Amino acid sequence: MKFRMVMSAFFKFKNLGWMCLLLAASAIAANMLSGLDVFGLSVLIDPTTPVVYLPALVIYLGIIAKTLLSEEFHEEFNRREKRREIQDLNYKCLKLANEAKRHTNAAYMKKLRRVMDDKKDIVESYFRGEHSYIKEKIVEQTLNLIVAYIKLLINFCIRSKELGEMDVSTIADRINANVRKLNFANDPHIKEDVKNLIEMDEKIINRLKDEKKELERISAKLDYMESTVNMFKHQAISSIESEEMVEKLQTAVDEAKALDNVLEERRRNKINL
């Protein structure tokens, strides 16, 4: 970021104008003095000699240093950087939405479209409205929330499909068969082995039940996030802004990230029936 700030100062339109003016003045002065032998320095004031332009360079660097120390320049630069970050977040939302289309069903695709429509309105309100630090933070955090929403939606849809394709009836049948086998077994070692098999299968079924309940909670969370984005859209457009809104958005983003991490972990350690 510091490098971009320095380069921004170097290529600021006003500073480039000064550089052109100083170089032109140096060239004119060198041409006027080129035929004179001033203190025997006729070689140094040759217009084709780079040394002639050294004073102009020194002055230009001084102008750059003054720009970098300017509070107004810092505010302008930080504003441009924030606009760039918001544009990057906007593009990230669009890219994730395209990825989500491959995994969502019709119902969740409809929800995603509503969120993306709200996102569009939020971004447009930011770029066409007057600058406000609070609004800037709200728009940035809302876009972060949308990024978290889409990531969570993708993992939710993938895991829901995986669980939907699992047939637990085979496990239930296996448990019933082992229970019958246990009733007729006389050997204590065989009984212990069968008990262990039943316990393992019951754990699998219980885990799958827990995961399905967890997905129901995540589905409700996705609905809540969708409503939150819509609410903040109306507040951003109406210029209703407060630090409390920023804090609420940050909390929602953190919660969504935590749920997404849980789903990622579930998918990595998924049960293969």
Distance CA 81, CA 127 (A): 13
Q: How far apart are CA 74 and CA 9, in angstroms?
A: 10
Q: Note whether residue 49 is domain-resident.
A: yes
Average pLDDT over every residue of 20-30: 67
Residue 2 has pLDDT above 90, yes or no: no
Looking at the structure, tell me whether residues 128 and 207 fall in a common domain. Answer: yes
Measured distance between the N- and C-terminal CA atoms of the chain, rounded to whole angstroms: 50
Query: Domain ends where: 12, 45, 69?
Result: 69
Instruction: Look at the chain and report how many structural domains it folds into.
Output: 2
Mean pLDDT, to the nearest integer, of 108-121?
93
With respect to residue 134, please indicate whether it lies within any of the assigned structural domains.
Answer: yes
Model pLDDT, residue 198: 86
Does any domain span residue 201?
yes
- Whether residue 131 sits in one domain with residue 48: no
**Closest to 226 in 3D by CA, of 130, 152, 133, 137:** 152
The pLDDT, as a whole number, for residue 270 is 61
127 and 224 co-located in one domain = yes
Q: Is the pTM of this model over 0.85?
A: no
Q: What's residue 90's pLDDT?
A: 93
Q: What single-letter amino acid sits at 201?
A: D
Same structural domain for residues 118 and 244?
yes
What is the pLDDT averaged over residues 104-123? 92
Same domain, residue pair 251 and 142: yes
pLDDT recorded at residue 47: 55
Which residue range is the domain that position 34 belongs to? Answer: 2-69
Residues 119 and 243 both lie in one domain: yes
49 and 124 part of one domain: no
DSSP-derived secondary structure letter, 129: S
Q: What pLDDT, on a 0 to 100 scale, did the predictor assign at position 232?
A: 82
> Is the pLDDT confidence value at 160 over 70?
yes
Both 65 and 162 in a single domain?
no
Is 93 within the bounds of a domain? Answer: no
Residue 171 CA to its chain's centroid (Å)? 42
